[in-house]
Structures are given as structure tokens and as C-alpha cells.
Amino acid sequence: MAVGARSGHDEPEERPDQHGESSVAMRDDSPGRQDADPADAEGETGQSGKDAKKPRSFWKELPLLIGIALLLALLIKTFLVQAFSIPSDSMMNTLQRGDRVLVDKLTPWFGSEPERGEVVVFHDPGGWLEGEPTPDPNVVQKFLSFIGLMPSAEEKDLIKRVIAVGGDTVSCKEGGKVVLNGKPLDETAYIYPGSTPCGDKPFGPITIPEGSIWVMGDNRQNSLDSRYHQNLAGGGTVSNDGVVGRAIVVAWPVTRWATLPVPDVFDQPGLSQAMTVAPGAAGLAGALPLVLWRRKRLTSRHTAQ
């Protein structure tokens, strides 16, 4: 009996061992515990290290950023705006020697043409800058000019004010004012103080060919503009295709920052040639109903017969 009793007490002493083995098995199967398999932990760490991307250093990304900036500058210069330097006194006081202007190159891409009163930059039509010295920029200046960060020093460009466009008739007698489509222009708002409209070089009347413009400097007695090139191809006019764009703002120096709007004198009534053709267009519009009515009446007569 005593032996039987001891055997009965021995069974409970073995059960904790069984429960203990079961607990260890559960700890071994549970993720994230200290007793987890070291090989599995190492595998998970290695995989997460591969997935995480190490950020590139600033110095490695700097050339890429510079390249993008240069590309944007080139695109802006080609399609949007470009800086130009004023090399002479021909546009004083509107523009002074050494000013930097920004030229709008975007609107011409959409078919916009120069308008009266605008200050425009245009390529030499041929012979206008003959004999003028051309600067010899260094390599850095050439590169900065190419991408538009500096005004071009090699291109032979000019800057003047548009006085007349295609279809206009313009003239100026000695001692008088510039006359555009029969309207005298009051140019006191932009002409250089002390200058005469054309005292040094009277001209006209001249009818401007379609697709061309007539340009003059604001400093009339110091500007070799359209008046002085009537013996060249185009008769002193400039083709619209040769216009780079409209100067919209003086960007440098900051003390001379200013916009370049169209003077009010070019907005006066009756200045546009379109006004002269309006009566003809109105007459045609009025005659059209009469012609249609007459044709209808004749058709009705033939039908009745």
C-alpha cells in the first residue's frame, strides 16, 4: 500500500516537467522572443537592410542639380525671356548704356507680331551694324551667354522703338512731327529731351510693306535707325521674322528697374489703318442683303413664268 501510495505521488511530480517542455516549445515558436533562432533573426535583419536605400550625399547630387538648372536656363532663354545689354545711347532716356533688359520671346511663338510703340530687339537686317566693333568674350562669357545667364556679346542685335507696322504710312518733315497714317504723334513722353522728331533726317512718306516694321531710336539725333538705311534691302524696314522679341522690363541695375509700356500716343483714335477700311467693309455688309433680295426676286419671276 505504501508503495502504491508513493507511485501515486510520483505522477504529479512528472507533470510539471511535461508542462515545462510545452512552455519551452511555445517560447521557441513565438516570434520576437530572446529564445528565437539566431539564424532567423540574422536573415530578417539582412533583408531589411537590403530594402532600405541609403540616401545619396549632397555632393553626389550637386552635379545633377547643376545640370537641371542649366537646362532650365537654356529653355527659358530659348522660349521665354532673354537678357540683352544696351551698348549705345540711341534709346536714351528710356534706356541707358549698360542697362540690362529682359526680352519676351514667348509671344512670337504664338503668332504675335510687333505693335506700334513697343521697344523691340531685332537681328541686324544686313548692313546696319557694318563697321561696328564686335566684342571678343572669353570662354566663360560665351557659355553664360549661350544658356542665357548673360547677354549675348557676339550676336549683332539692335534695339529700337516700333513707329509703324505693315500697311502704315509714315513721314516726317524737317521741323515737324512724325506723321503716322495722317495723325501727328506727340512723342514728348519718350523722346530724349532736346531731340527733334527728325530734324537730322527727314523722310517719307513711306508705306511699310506687310510683315515689316519701321523703327526709330528715342534719342533721334544719336540713332542710326530706319531713316538711315533706306538705301539697303527693305528700304529701312525690318522684317517681323528678324524680331527677337519685345523688351518688357529694365532688370539691371536695380536703381533703374522699370517696365517698358506702350506710350498712350499710339492708342489715339483713328491711328490704325483698320479704321480706313471699316467704311468699305460696312458698305459691303450693307449691300449683301440687297443683292440676295434681288436674286430671290428674279428667281421668283422665272418660276412664275
Res 237: pLDDT: 98
SS3 165: strand
**pLDDT (average), residues 153-171:** 89
CA 95 – CA 256 distance, rounded (Å): 9
Return the higher-pLDDT residue of 42 and 145: 145
CA 135 – CA 110 distance, rounded (Å): 33
Retrieve residue 58's grid coordinates: 549632397
156 catalytically annotated = no
**pLDDT (average), residues 237-262:** 94
Quick: pLDDT tens for 115-143.
999 999 999 999 998 866 555 666 666 66
Beta bridge partners of 213: 165, 238
Quick: pLDDT tens for 173-229.
999 999 999 999 999 999 999 999 999 999 999 999 999 999 999 999 999 999 999
CB 121 within 8 A of CB 163: no
Residue 30: Cβ within 10 Å count: 10
Res 107: pLDDT: 81
CA 59 – CA 82 distance, rounded (Å): 30
Res 78: pLDDT: 55
Q: In percent, how much of the chain has pLDDT > 70? A: 58
Q: Which of 160, 171, 195, 212 is catalytic?
A: 160
**pLDDT (average), residues 269-276:** 63
Res 301: pLDDT: 55
Return the higher-pLDDT residue of 178 and 75: 178
CA 117 – CA 146 distance, rounded (Å): 29
Res 263: pLDDT: 96
Retrieve residue 3's grid coordinates: 508503495
Backbone angles phi, psi at 32, to 5 degrees: 85, 0
**pLDDT (average), residues 49-65:** 67
**Global pTM?**
0.64
Name the least confident of 69-73, 81-85, 253-257: 69-73
Beta strand spans in 86-139 (E): 100-104, 119-123
51 confidence band (pLDDT: 50, 70, 90): low
Q: Which of 90, 195, 223, 272 is catalytic?
A: 90
Res 57: pLDDT: 75
Return the higher-pLDDT residue of 271 and 25: 271
54 catalytically annotated = no
Arithmetic mean of pLDDT over the chain = 75
**pLDDT (average), residues 257-262:** 95
Retrieve residue 185's grid coordinates: 504723334
CA 149 – CA 82 distance, rounded (Å): 8
Cα angle vertex 114, ends 150, 103, to 5°?
15
